[in-house]
Amino acid sequence: MNYRKYRAFKPVDLPDRQWPDKSITKAPGWCSVDLRDGNQALPVPMSVEEKIEMFELLLSLGFKEIEVGFPSASETEFEFLRRLIDENRIPEDVTVQILTQARAHLIERSFEAIKGAKKAIIHFYNSTSTVQRDVVFNKSREEIIEIAVEGARLIKEIAAKHSDTEIRYEYSPESFTGTELDFAKEICDAVIEIIDPDEENKLIINLPATVEMSLPNIYADQIEWMCRNINRREHLIISLHTHNDRGTGAAASELGLLAGADRVEGTLFGNGERTGNVDIITLAMNLYSQGIDPELDFSDINRLIEVYERCTKMTVPPRHPYAGELVYTAFSGSHQDAIRKGLEKYRKSDSRIWDLPYLPIEPADLQREYEAIIRINSQSGKGGVAFVLEDQYGLKLPKAMHPEFSAIIQRITDERGDELKGDEIYDVFNKEYLTDGRRLKLHKYKINAILDDDEATDVHNAVEIIATMEEKGERFEMTGHGNGPIDAFFHALIESGHLEEGVRLSSYSEHALTEGADSQAVAYIQMVNKNGQGRFGVGVDPSINGASLKALLCALDRMDKMD
Ligand SMILES: CC(=O)SCCNC(=O)CCNC(=O)[C@H](O)C(C)(C)COP(=O)(O)OP(=O)(O)OC[C@H]1O[C@@H](n2cnc3c(N)ncnc32)[C@H](O)[C@@H]1OP(=O)(O)O
Ligand SMILES: CC(C)C(=O)C(=O)O
């Protein structure tokens, strides 16, 4: 790879730069360029109907400025804008923006396209970079300024004949990032002089990273330099329009805002030329995650993805910030453990401040369900498996049981090399702990309370259990006493010779599985043999006693099968 043919971008001489000490405290003005920059980069540009659907989508997200196209470029673009106007589809508080080169016939056609619109931004541009001046235009600086000035004059002149439309202007020195700053200022100042903006009618000066050529801090320096040096800054709206050639379009826009810009142009999911425009969802959600109102609403992200993918025929990658299918999902054990603990704490806490490990925002804010957060494969740990069972099936496995069940799951995921879905995990749990087929079966049981003052027996504050059991097809009855039903059952098993010596009950927990009259209880019991090896058993039954006895038999069975 011949890196020697490339040159490093020259830094900006701005030793007293201010932007590194600034913070973003409010949303910028947003302008969607999905229907223009996004559309012009599609292999199959959107049809009029698709553009209408995208326009409606953008409105529903809250965009107040939407660049609807380059109406002088094609019939589709022209017809689309005419439909928006003629069918009264543009809300009062929304301004449509159109793009045109600073060329007379294109400007004239653009004005035909906006006829009848209540408000419009006429966005005109010409390329100003050293390379474009040299390669594309073969013109001097003065001649390039002349293109912009001529365009501005013509636009103002024609606009004067469109008194029905409230017109604002936007000028872009296209390829700004490759333009010498003094020349960018000179050409913008020349346009400013013609447009003559004031406090009420500000001119939008858009400073595009048409091609992202440098580190984002250099773009920030360029923006700060322009904000400090351009004429009549107070009558301007400084706008950013970044592309993502180096993969730092979002960073460049954010640093550009620190550097003094007021407005951002971008697209949904960063659609646009080459590597795309800056992704407005990322920028807005970055603000949101800092507790700043983004003034755009992405809460219905799944519908947004559906409409976007259908209209543009592009796909949203699974790792796309905030929106991708996998961005709230943890497969790895330590992440799952931290998320599970974080969620548990958050749900119990009175604080509504979101501060969870690995989840910068609450997935539910974008309608992402918790069940998708923790997914299980061979990289997952015990906490994740327990989370899935609790979250999807209400089974709160005791902590001491997590390693045992997770080892069973891990064996399967290792063998399969694939992900195990929630229902598959539950099937394994069911087969392992809840399916009948035990050595010892419980048919029925009776529990008798033994009163304190019962002189006839030697057992006080206790219960007696009489259970009908079955082993290898043979039924038998056993009786036992204890300080509770489980203890009594345990003793009945010992006394009837069904429990090996030295085995003890090591832990017990239970909870209701469902609520209401037909609720079920679940019990978890751990038994440990004389060598200290233990197994859990689980039982589910309408009664808590029934669940416990089943859990005990399940543990016993699993102890028998222990290798
Ligand atoms: C960075 C951006 O995304 S800018 C927006 C880009 N979007 C588009 O181009 C999509 C729509 N564009 C189009 O459909 C066409 O390019 C049109 C209709 C605008 C123009 O079409 P045409 O005039 O047929 O062809 P083309 O685009 O090749 O024009 C090139 C000519 O325009 C000149 N030109 C390019 N940009 C500008 C400008 N902003 N102002 C004045 N002249 C310009 C070029 O120097 C070239 O001139 P030449 O023919 O004398 O060498
Ligand atoms: C027209 C301009 C703003 C543009 O799309 C770009 O420079 O990328």
User: Does 37 show up as a binding residue in the annotation?
Assistant: yes
pTM (predicted TM-score)? 0.87
Q: Per residue in 261-270, pLDDT tens?
A: 999 999 999 9
The fraction of the chain above a pLDDT of 90, given in percent, is: 87
Binning pLDDT at 50, 70 and 90, where does residue 453 land? Answer: low
Q: What is the pLDDT of residues 514-528, one digit of tens each?
A: 777 678 999 999 999
**Is 317 within the bounds of a domain?**
no
Q: Report whether 98 contacts 129 (CB < 8 A).
A: no
One DSSP character per residue, 218-286 reads: HHHHHHHHHHHHSTTGGGEEEEEEEB-TTS-HHHHHHHHHHTT--EEEEBGGG-SSTT-B-BHHHHHHH
Give the residue numbers spanning the domain of 532: 440-561
Ligand 2 near 50 CB (within 6 A): no
Q: Give pLDDT, residue 454.
A: 54
Same domain as 359, residue 419: no
Q: Percent of the chain scored above 70 by pLDDT?
A: 97
* Contact of 280 with 30, CB cutoff 8 Å: yes
Amino acid at 352: R
Closest atom of ligand 2 to 125 CA is: 1
Contacts for 342 with CB less than 8 Å, ≥ 6 apart: 355, 356, 357, 358, 359
> Is the pLDDT reported for residue 548 higher than 90?
yes
pLDDT at residue 56 is higher than 80: yes
Q: What is the pLDDT of residues 254-307, one digit of tens each?
A: 999 999 999 999 999 999 999 999 999 999 999 999 999 999 999 999 999 999
> Under 8 Å CB-to-CB from 456, ≥6 apart: which residues?
none
The reply to whether 11 falls in a domain is: no
Structure tokens at 440: 């010892």
Closest C-alpha to ligand 2, atom 7: 210
Could you tell me if 290 and 343 lie in one domain? no
Residue 371 covered by a domain: no
Question: Rounded to the nearest whole angstrom, what is the distance from the C-alpha of residue 536 to the centroid of ligand 2?
Answer: 65
Beta strand extents in 74-118 (DSSP E only)? 95-101
CA atoms of 425 and 482, how far apart (whole Å): 36
* 197 and 345 housed in the same domain: no
Tell me phi and psi for residue 315, to 5 degrees.
Answer: -120, 150
Ligand 2 centre and the CA of 174: distance in Å?
Answer: 6
Name the domain count of the chain. 4
Q: What is the best residue among 101, 123, 273 to mutate for testing ligand 1's pocket, by most ligand atoms within 8 Å of CB?
A: 101
Both 349 and 278 in one domain: the answer is: no
In this structure, what CATH number is given to the domain that contains residue 401? 1.10.1220.20
Strands 462-471, 474-482: pairing kind: antiparallel
Position 6 in a domain = no
Rounded Cα distance between 436 and 86, Å, is 71
Residues with CB under 6 A from ligand 1: 37, 40, 70, 73, 101-103, 106, 125-127, 136-137, 147, 174, 210, 273
How many angstroms from the chain centroid is the CA of residue 347?
20
Between the CA of 171 and the centroid of ligand 1 the distance, in Å, is 16
Looking at all shown ligands, the one closest to residue 210's CA atom is: 2
90 with 84: CB under 8 angstroms? yes
Q: Quick one: average pLDDT of 155-181?
A: 95
Does 485 lie in the same domain as 550?
A: yes
What is the spatial distance between Cα 279 and Cα 296, in angstroms, rounded to a whole number?
Answer: 13
- Band of pLDDT at residue 110, cut at 50, 70 and 90: very high
Q: What is d(CA 130, CA 153) in angstroms, rounded to the nearest whole number?
A: 24
Give nearest CA residue, ligand 2 atom 4. Answer: 210
Cβ contacts of 492 within 8 Å, gap of 6 or more: 465, 467, 478, 479, 480
Say if ligand 2 is within 6 A of residue 208 CB: yes
Which residue has a Cα nearest atom 5 of ligand 2? 37
- CATH code of the domain in which 538 resides: 3.30.160.270
Query: Does a structural domain hold residue 21?
Result: no
413 shares a domain with 360: no
Confirm whether residue 241 is marked as ligand binding: yes
Decide if 540 is inside a domain. Answer: yes
Q: Output 450 or 349, whichever has higher pLDDT.
A: 349
Predicted confidence band of residue 481 (pLDDT cuts 50, 70, 90): very high
Quote the CA–CA distance of 197 and 237 in Å, as a whole number.
10
Same domain, 449 and 421: no
Q: Is the pLDDT of residue 120 over 90?
A: yes
| 489 pLDDT more than 90 | yes
34 Cα to the center of ligand 2, angstroms: 12
Ligand nearest, relative to CA of residue 134: 1
Contact predicate 242/208, CB 8 Å: yes
For residue 384, which of 325, 354, 339 has the smallest C-alpha distance?
339
Residues 137 and 75 in one domain: yes
Q: How far is the CA of 560 from the centre of ligand 2 (A)?
A: 73
To the question of whether residue 243 is assigned a binding role by annotation, the answer is: yes
Domain with residue 288: its CATH number is: 3.20.20.70
ipTM over cut 0.90: yes
* Whether residues 352 and 399 fall in one domain: no
> Is 328 contained in some domain?
no
509-513: long-range contacts, CB 8 A cutoff, minimum separation 24: 509/396, 509/398, 510/544, 510/547, 510/548, 511/396, 513/394, 513/395, 513/540
- Domain identity same for 415 and 522: no
Same domain, 428 and 531: no
Considering only 202-216, 414-428, 459-473, which range has the smallest mean pLDDT? 459-473
Q: Does the Cβ of 210 fall within 6 Å of ligand 2?
A: yes
Q: Which two tokens stand for residue 196?
A: 């003559």
At residue 369, the pLDDT reads 75
Residues 44 and 143 in one domain: yes
Is 68 part of a structural domain of the chain? yes
Closest residue by Cα to residue 478 from 508, 504, 440: 440
